[in-house]
A and B are shown apart, each in its own frame.
Chain A
Amino acid sequence: MPTRLISTSRVVLSDIVSASPPASLNDGEKHLYSKLFEKFQPSKLVVQDISGGCGSMYQVEVVSPAFKGLNMVKQHRLVNETLKEEIKTMHGIRLTTKAAA
C-alpha cells in the first residue's frame, strides 16, 4: 500500500510545472526556463546547461499543448523563435519537443 501512495504522488508531481524556475538551476538555465514557461505553458519543462561550464550549450525539453498538430520542424521552430537571441550566443542546443496529450 505505501508503495502505491508514493507512485501516485510522483505522477501528480511530475505533471506540475512550476512557473518559477527550480532553485537548483544556474542563471542561464533560469533565464531560458522563464522564457519557455511564459511562451508555452508546458506540462513538462527541462532546461539543463550541458556545456560543462561555459554556458554555451543547453539541453531543453518542452512538452506543451501549443505543439498540438504541428510536425517536429514546426515545433522546433517555435522554440527557436522564442530563444532566438539566446541561441545566437550558444554553440549548440539539444532540443526535444512533444505535444501535450
Chain B
Amino acid sequence: MNFLRSASTLALRSTAGSHILTRRAALPATTFAVRHLSDSTKKVIEDAISGNKLVVFMKGTPRAPMCGFSRAVMQIFDVQGVDMEKSLKSFNILEDEELRSGIKEFSSWPTIPQVYINGEFVGGCDIMVTMHQNGELEELLIKEGLVEPETEAHPRD
C-alpha cells in the first residue's frame, strides 16, 4: 500500500506542484526562512558548525547509521582516516524532528546527510562520494587538520 501511495502522490504533484511553486516564488525569501527554523535550533546549528571542524547531520549515529546514504558518508570518513571519536561531531536528526526540518532549511538542502567542514556546507552523500573519488576530500581534510598527510603518517626510520 505504501508504495502505491507514494507513486500516486508523485504523479499528482506534476499538476499540483506548479501552483505551489508559483505561490512560493511570490513570497519574499525571508517569509519562508522563518517558517520552520526556530531561533533556538538555528543557534544549535550555528554553535555546532562554528565550534567543530567536522559536523555531520545524519540518520543514526556514526557507529550505527540508519540510512545507506549516512552510512556511506561514515565509511568515507573512516577510509580517509578521520578519528571519528575525536574529530567528528554528529547529530542524529531522527531523534530531533525540529533539527530534521531545521537543518534542511538552514543549508537550503533537502536531504540528509549533510556535512559541514570548518563552518561551511560541503555537501551531501553524492558530493562526498565524488570528492572522495577525485581526491578533493583528502585535500580538504588534510588542510583542515582532520587527517594527517600520508607521508607523515608513518614514523621516520
A residues with CB within 8 A of B: 27-28, 31, 34, 51, 53-56, 72-73, 76-77, 80, 84-89, 92-96
Contact = CB atoms under 8 A, between A and B. Distances in A.
A77 B108 contact: yes
Interface in B21-73: 21, 67-69
Nearest to A89: B9
B153 interface: no
B20 A89 contact: no
Given A86-B17, A87-B110, 6 more contacts: A28-B10, A31-B13, A53-B3, A73-B123, A76-B126, A85-B17
The binding surface of chain A is classed by DSSP as helix
Contacts of B7: 27-28, 54-55
Contact of A27 (B11, B123, B126, B131): B11
B3 A55 contact: yes
Given A28-B11, A73-B122, A73-B127, A85 B109 contact: no
B110 A92 contact: no
Given A55-B3, A72-B130, A76-B123, A92 B20 contact: no
Contacts of B2: 54
8 contacts: A34-B14, A55-B6, A56-B3, A73-B122, A73-B127, A76-B127, A89-B10, A96-B126
B111 A93 contact: yes
B120 to A, nearest CB: 9
A85 B129 CA distance: 25
Contacts of B121: 73
A84 B110 contact: yes
B124 interface: yes
B26 to A, nearest CB: 15
B14 A31 contact: yes
A85 B13 contact: yes
Nearest to A26: B7
A89 B111 contact: no
A28 B7 CA distance: 7
B108 A55 contact: no
A88 B130 contact: no
Given A77-B109, A89-B10, A84 B21 contact: yes
A86 B110 CA distance: 10
A76 B109 CA distance: 9
B85 to A, nearest CB: 27
